[in-house]
Structure 1
Amino acid sequence: MSQEADSRIGTRCFCDQAIRQVRCLECFQFAPLCRSCWIHAHQHQPFHWAHVWDTEHGYFHRQDISTILDSDLSAIPLGHDGNICPQASKPSLMTLVDHDTGVHATKVTFCGCRDSNKWRQLMDANLFPATVAEPQTAFSFRTLRHWQLITLQSKITAYDYVRALRRQTDNVFTGNVPDVYKQFQFVSRIWPLLEAEKRFGGVYGNHMNELYPRRPQDNVMVYCPACPEAGVNMEPNWDKTPPEHLNTIFNTIDGNFKTGNYAKNNDSNDVSLFAGRAYMPNQKRHQHYLEAVPQIQKEKATCSHLKVENGANRAKFKNMSVTGNVNVQCSHMFVCSSVDMKGGENHATVDLAIKLRVECCRFDKDKQPHRVFSYDNMCSLAVNIVQRWLKFHKDDADVVQKASWTIPACHVNNHHEGCDYLYCYVYKMCMGHFHGETAEYAWAIFNAIGPSVLQMSIGHHIDTLIIHYGDWNWRKVKDLNDAKCKYVEKRDSFAGLCRLFDSKIVQWNAMDRSPHIDPNSKRTVFSIYSHNQEKSPTLKAFVDKEMLSSDIIAVSSGNVKLGAVASWMMEGLRLFQLQTSATPTICNQRSKLSADLDAWRKLQKHYMVSIASRISRQPDEQHPEDQLLLLPSDFTPAECQQLRLIPLATKQIQMLEAMLGETIANLQTTVKNLSAAFERKIKDARGQDANTKSIVQIRKIEAKRNDLMGDYDLFREVLNALDGLDEGKWPPLALKDTFRKPTERCRNPGDSRVLEGNLWGMTSTGHARWALTNTEGAPRPTGELPSGKLPETLEHAEQPGINADGWIWSAGRLKHMSMKEIEVWEETNNRIQWARSEADFERWQEQLEVKHADFMRFIRYAAYARDVWLKLAQGPCSSSLGHIAYGREHSNMWESLCAEAEGRYNHCGIPGLRIVTKGKTFVDNVAQWRQEEEKHFSFNQ
């Protein structure tokens, strides 16, 4: 409260000519002054508010500097470094805006001794005029810089920003403050364009185009420094030095419906100021493309739940001129191109986005790098893409002819199972760890501006997206350490499997890694990484076969008979199941479990000698149900490798696969019984006694069902700990997934529209995704449940079956398999485990090499940009000291970025890959490093 008044008011001023009447709260520790002294003290700070003491009312009230004195001396002078011009014009009323103090209705005098326009004088004073002819409103440069930073970081709208400035001026009578929203809209669109022109060297004439000749002319995009760019950051003769993944351009494609735009009667002259020089196409080009290329594709998505393309013209797009955007990003998450969607997400729009990406940086026709494109609907897009490009994009058709196509790693789980092996990056050579899901990361940022761009004119809409794309690109970083750690883990795991299956390696190595589509059934894909629709044995049949086997298995104590290990492993899984599913609480049950555990531990010390010390450290006083069994699943894959537990882990995986299949079969039978029990209760139970008996029976069956679901989750969790879980093969199971239409009653009207729960699409070998579509491949329709009341436990489980697709009820009881069939199944399991581990190892090996190549390209890019800006500063285009200083500043900035990247690279890079000696290339390093890494697999030689 002491700040509301000042005891020095009314005392003599420093000038000794008048009394103190005015203070300033924006200045730091500013003493009150008389009116003339206050104006003189604020000669270079005219936007500070003058707090003038009102003697009559006894408090301070706020005034603009131009109102302190009645004379023209209080007007803000332009020119002469803030001093009044001898030939100054008469004061002009203007509205000046500053982000610190708000909106000022003030007076300005212009310099009359120089032949300079008013807008030029305002610009020289760091004020941006809203008009050129007779400016009446201007914004300080720091206001526009502040606005740009705030909107890029917090996605605030121009309206809210101007409203905040007006409230900052007067938070009570805000309506009396001049409304500068329309003027600010205009200026805030021009400012980012001018900043971009300056930042990307447009102020240096055509010189930047000459230094980057392969880029589009006069472009103002933020390029990814780590992506290959010919003549900038690539090694000499890069096109003649495989492997190709070192120079691959990885791209992710995705559509977003949150950045649309309403169709309104807008000014036809309101076009994008960037005019196709950034991430989005010129509006005329886009319109011509829409008229020339069919937008309704013939290909329809047949994979489950991919309704984006099939619903291209839904009613939700009514009254929308733009329904969203399709973006192409590189693997480092830089936005490379973006196209407005007109209607839905169709192939023509995606093709144009890819076309713009190709045009970002041209390569010679005979020196095209390998390109990879990842898209969630790639199985539909890529079918006829070559034919479309030969017709509509003939000049760049060779790019798509040589490109590789993938589906993001998470999205592919919603596809037909064959898409996994056809389009998942893991099963493709020279992909690195390009999972493709980074396309989703940016939408969380860009969605925040969706409500703003929805109501803008189309030109403003495009410009707003462009400045946010540029800001997003500037803030991207990358890391090498993760690739190093993952590579070592995957390498050691694969080496362990190679030792385990040494006798089979030659045979498996000769197998084709490419997927093959069944000519008789276009939806069936055969792959070395898949079971290919094989059936699995029952657990009893599998264990019986292992018990009779004369084979030996390597454990940490040496070689022992397979049958003994299988029996011991089966007993361990039984004990583990008892510990987790039904904890003993009665003394005799606990004693029995303790005795069984002691007997099992004796064999464990023999089979797992490498962990004997850990077994001995188990507390004696601990209850048997709380003791850790120390099965292979209790260790990480790296620890299993170190402790020589890989063979035991492999057997545990095989047993868990069989146990999961058997659990599914038992769960199917149990739920069938539950369904029949409910039907009998509805039909036959009359009276309290009959109803009570029926309910008791139902509760027992429900308890068994819940136990089986718990077992399924338990086995699935253990399989995941062993790094052997196939999410598509054994998906999560919820209560709603077990709903099944009763087969005990006659068919009722509407039954054909009812969906069964996910349990009924599952087979004994998993592969749930087949049941996600009906026989025609189209998404299954939803419908109402048949008449009759559902079980109470299902009625409250989110209406099971109404919106759920099925996955586990398509199979009947498991059939017994012959010994030969079990052997084939077991070898197939081993082969799939080995092949998938090989694929993981190879992708992470490639990823590690790609990250080294990225770092080297970044360093070369920064060094090239440093030299470019230095040339601009020293060249003939530097017509002023400002041009020279700006060029030197940017050259130094890129020099610092180059030094920082080199420091990080030297810290985390592998010396064998990082250090390129004179006369060699990075590819030579890769070849030599891979040869060294082969020593981990020398036992196969």
Structure 2
Amino acid sequence: MFCQECVLQSHTNNPLHRIDMWNNLFFQRSTLKQMGLCVQLGHEPGERCYNPHPSAGDDFIVIDVHGMHEIALDFCGCASAQIRYKQLLCAQWYPATTSDPRTAATFTLLEHFYILSFESKVSAYEFYHSLARQNNNAGLSHIRDRYSAFMRMIHKWRHLRQLHRAGRGHDPAGAKATTAGELAVQCPACPHPGKNIPQDWQNEPLLVRWKYALFIAIDANFRLKRKAVSSDNRDPSLNSGWAYFVEEAAYKSYLADQAGAKQDCSTCVSHNAVNMADTKSSHGLAATGVGAVDCARHDMKLVNGVGDLQKGKKYINMDYLVFSALLAFTVTMINISYDIACQWHKKLWTRMEAMPPRLHISHTSMTVRFFRTLTNVNEKFSFNWSKHVGRIDGEAPERRWSNINRVATSTKEMGPGSRHDTLDDHFGDWNWKKVMVLGQTLLRKISDTVKWKKEHGEGLAELERTIQPTLILQWRTEVEAWEEDGSQPNPNGIPAITQAAVHLQLAELEAHELQAGTNVSLHTDISPSRLITTGIDLQDQQQRLKTDMANASLHPMDKQKTTMQTRVTALQRQLDAWARVQELYMPIVSQFHQRSSEAGVMNTMPLKPESFKLWLPSELQPTVSCDKKLAAHKWDLRHTQALDALNEVASTRAQALIEGVEMRKRASVDKYRRARNALLALGYQLDKSGWDISLPPLLDSDVRPMGDMERQGTGTISWIWLDSHVDNSSSENERVQDCVRVEWCKVCACANRWSEEVELLLEEMRRVIVFLKWQAEWWGGKHSSRASESAAEQEGLAAYACRQAMLCLSLVASFQALWKDVPKFVSATLEIPLDSEDEPTIDAQPQLYN
């Protein structure tokens, strides 16, 4: 408790404190302004100004972390006084405008919101109104709205912080001399010629040079929309292409020039985003999303690799962004991943010719490879099957979007400049956080990778012990030939006759018979082969329904009951319709149906289509006559069904972690056993023999993945992996089945990729250290790069440069301490002699390059 005079005297240095005054009943809120305090700028606290200039117009508002404060403010009017906005800056109050400022925010508040927006993604609107409620939570007092002013201050604060951290204040030419991408935080683990890779890297053999390749990933985000509000003139970007977004004027000019160009349609059946580009709704939107180019290995946005999209994933947008991002690099080996790379890379170099000359790259003297980020894609575009790429999924943009999507709601309402600069700042913060944790990130990766390399290497060796050496040599030669020349036969696939292929053959056969006049169909719409095909499909539906009913909840909801009953009814109708046609081709079954349905029973019992007897040819007793053609059709279909089911059982080896795989595996096993039982019955009728050698009984103990042999080192393989097409004429010519060859290719490719990943990670660790040392030296050069008339300003410039240089060196020391045991760990785990020429090194002192 103080008297009014003491309160005013003690708050000369704290003019933004809140004051409560006892009114004999309770503490009532008051202000220092109401008590008579006036803030004098341009002088030390308590020092008298002989020419004070009161703030004109409305009361001056200062926003800080405790709310908004109305204060009485006098600017200094002495002859030596600085301009008014600089007087506010000296008090660490940031003005909303440089001319006649009436609103300011404390540096503490702006920095608080700055960090909070990165971590919680809170919007400026929400933050501002939370401050307003601290002043006026009851709505009884009135303070003029300063939200627009707050938005301007935040916009400029973000921009100045980016200039500050990029060293633009140390450039004698000032901020206007900033070049494209100079404000971006670069990835220190990526290859930067002249900064972190050797000067003669281009002369290295491919065995070494592949580690200097650049990995980039392309993707689009359609949540980062922007409404058609404001304009570039009213809300210009302060960064103007200096960070991650491309320079807007040149970008829009290029898009306008290419507006009439027709985009090639996609021929890929698994990705239709290209064809749907023009169908996306853009009503009321100035941008339907953003496209971006990322560092694929380290999840960082690349310089000038981000731009707005107008309608979908159009090639002209993504082309511009990719070539714009590549301007910051001079490497000659580039690996590009994109979910539509199989379509996008076609005619890419032809489209490049229509772009501005500054974006052209000499692709004829470069190695550019394209990959798809989706799984189970064509081997030509798969990271898994390509050498010199390590272990990478190419999904960096997807992980990045999950973080930035939380600001989509607020940036959607912004003008073009504010939105670009806000997103630029968020991208920069993400990159910086990635740099800070590179020590832990790369340490975790190298620890996991070394273990995986060892495990896959041992698995490959164990697998090869079960295969003839001549076969391994042959397969390795085929793989190497295919890796060098993609036009060579691909050894990774399995040529097989599938059920679909047999269906086609039967359909073509019936068409030929119809043309020749020998068709024996007894139904206008359903042929004999169609009858058997449909019967087998119905049998599969019965099995799925039975499985789903067994796994149903004990207390199903009404909606679940309705869905199940609908399935039951629909299947029963299909079975009844099929049975009526079946009687035309197999009259004998009418007797079986009549025996099984006693009078009145069908009307009283509930429907059980899963138990309906189909009486397919294989289910008839050998003594019961059946059309040989129907039996032959079923034999062909059941034989291929057994092979398909066997392949499905084997395919589950790589899906051990996928939810529900056990159920799918069991369904495939049941399908194989049903097909084999049918073959047993049909074999007697059709005098088939020898087929049971390639399709033996499938026991539960046989259904184990190849991975069991790799991980447990049992040295044995289930028969499902061995050749089922044995040459009976020569017992010594038994060979391994095609699926074993493919499995060897997969295990070999995995072992190679993990081995490459170890080399890449060690190289990236070295590059990080070298880049940070280069950056420290760069900041050291800024110590006295700009001369200032003020000694204090010169001292401040030098101090900031020294602090930034020390920050880089501190990161170097931290990372080296984390990685000090990595060489020994790699050598010990992989049994690499420490005195070998290939000894991994992290703590080397490489030359810094100009």
1:61 alignment partner in structure 2: 28
- Partner-residue secondary structure (3-state), 2:820: helix
Q: Does 1:263 align with 2:240?
A: no
1:182-240 alpha-carbon deviations (Å, 9 max, x no partner): 1111111111111111100000115999xxx9x95571001001101111111231222
1:148 alignment partner in structure 2: 114
CA distance in 1, matches of 2:797, 2:354: 46
Q: 2:771 pairs with 843, 861, 868, which one?
A: 861
1:288 alignment partner in structure 2: 253
1:322 alignment partner in structure 2: 287
Contact kept in structure 2, 1:103 and 1:169, CA below 8 Å = yes
Q: 1:695 pairs with 602, 607, 613, which one?
A: 607
- How many equivalent residue pairs? 655
2:327 alignment partner in structure 1: 359
2:815 alignment partner in structure 1: 901
1:618 alignment partner in structure 2: none
> 1:516-665 alignment to 2 at 5 Å?
527-533=490-496
CA distance in 1, matches of 2:12, 2:201: 61
- TM-score, normalized by length of structure 2? 0.70
Contact kept in structure 1, 2:288 and 2:309, CA below 8 Å = yes
| Cα distance change on mapping 1:202 and 1:348 into 2, 3 Å | same
**Shift in Å, 1:718:** 8.4
| Cα distance change on mapping 1:78 and 1:40 into 2, 3 Å | same
1:819-873 alpha-carbon deviations (Å, 9 max, x no partner): 4699888432221111111111111111111111111110001111111112212
CA distance in 1, matches of 2:482, 2:323: 28
Contact kept in structure 2, 1:227 and 1:857, CA below 8 Å = yes
- Partner-residue secondary structure (3-state), 1:142: helix
> 1:411-810 alignment to 2 at 5 Å?
411-413=374-376, 419-476=377-434, 477=438, 478-479=441-442, 480-501=446-467, 502-513=469-480, 527-533=490-496, 668=537, 670-671=539-540, 678-681=573-576, 688-691=600-603, 695-696=607-608, 698-699=610-611, 723=654, 733=664
- Partner-residue secondary structure (3-state), 1:442: helix
2:349 alignment partner in structure 1: 386
CA distance in 1, matches of 2:365, 2:836: 25
- TM-score, normalized by length of structure 1? 0.63
Q: Does 1:396 align with 2:360?
A: yes
1:884-910 alpha-carbon deviations (Å, 9 max, x no partner): 111111111111001111112222345
| Cα distance change on mapping 1:373 and 1:208 into 2, 3 Å | farther
Amino acid at match of 1:60: F
Please give the root-mean-square deviation of Cα atoms over the aligned residues, in Å. Answer: 4.1
CA distance in 2, matches of 1:236, 1:256: 38
**Shift in Å, 1:465:** 1.1
- Partner-residue secondary structure (3-state), 1:397: coil
**Shift in Å, 1:817:** 5.8
CA distance in 1, matches of 2:262, 2:837: 46
CA distance in 2, matches of 1:867, 1:391: 40
**Shift in Å, 1:696:** 4.1
| Cα distance change on mapping 1:820 and 1:406 into 2, 3 Å | farther
CA distance in 2, matches of 1:717, 1:98: 66
| Cα distance change on mapping 1:667 and 1:475 into 2, 3 Å | farther
CA distance in 1, matches of 2:481, 2:275: 29
CA distance in 1, matches of 2:174, 2:489: 52
Contact kept in structure 2, 1:221 and 1:279, CA below 8 Å = yes
Contact kept in structure 1, 2:51 and 2:77, CA below 8 Å = yes
Contact kept in structure 1, 2:61 and 2:71, CA below 8 Å = yes
Percent of aligned pairs with the same amino acid: 21
| Cα distance change on mapping 1:227 and 1:516 into 2, 3 Å | closer
2:340 alignment partner in structure 1: 377
- Partner-residue secondary structure (3-state), 1:873: coil
| Cα distance change on mapping 1:676 and 1:233 into 2, 3 Å | closer
| Cα distance change on mapping 1:666 and 1:224 into 2, 3 Å | farther
Contact kept in structure 2, 1:371 and 1:404, CA below 8 Å = yes
CA distance in 1, matches of 2:488, 2:650: 25
1:123-170 alpha-carbon deviations (Å, 9 max, x no partner): 110111111121111111111111111111111111111111100112
2:530 alignment partner in structure 1: none
Amino acid at match of 2:818: R
1:784-811 alpha-carbon deviations (Å, 9 max, x no partner): xxxxxxxxxxxxxxxxxxxxxxxxxxxx
| Cα distance change on mapping 1:673 and 1:162 into 2, 3 Å | closer
Contact kept in structure 2, 1:275 and 1:282, CA below 8 Å = yes
CA distance in 1, matches of 2:173, 2:822: 37
Q: 1:47 pairs with 16, 19, 22, which one?
A: 16
| Cα distance change on mapping 1:391 and 1:820 into 2, 3 Å | farther
Higher RCO (C-alpha 8 Å, min separation 6): 2
Q: Which runs of 5+ in 1 are unaligned?
A: 1-31, 414-418, 537-663, 738-763, 765-815, 915-921, 930-941
CA distance in 1, matches of 2:118, 2:397: 19
CA distance in 1, matches of 2:275, 2:427: 29
| Cα distance change on mapping 1:265 and 1:688 into 2, 3 Å | farther
Contact kept in structure 2, 1:713 and 1:733, CA below 8 Å = no
1:500-537 alpha-carbon deviations (Å, 9 max, x no partner): 32332221122144669999xxxx9952111134569x
| Cα distance change on mapping 1:450 and 1:392 into 2, 3 Å | same
Contact kept in structure 2, 1:128 and 1:140, CA below 8 Å = yes
Q: 2:838 pairs with 925, 928, 931, which one?
A: 925
- Partner-residue secondary structure (3-state), 1:475: helix
- Partner-residue secondary structure (3-state), 2:105: strand
Amino acid at match of 2:324: L
Q: Does 1:298 align with 2:263?
A: yes
- Partner-residue secondary structure (3-state), 2:76: coil
Q: Which runs of 5+ in 2 are unaligned?
A: 500-532, 544-569, 581-596, 617-637, 669-694, 696-723, 829-834, 843-850
**Shift in Å, 1:678:** 3.6
- Partner-residue secondary structure (3-state), 1:96: strand
- Partner-residue secondary structure (3-state), 2:405: helix
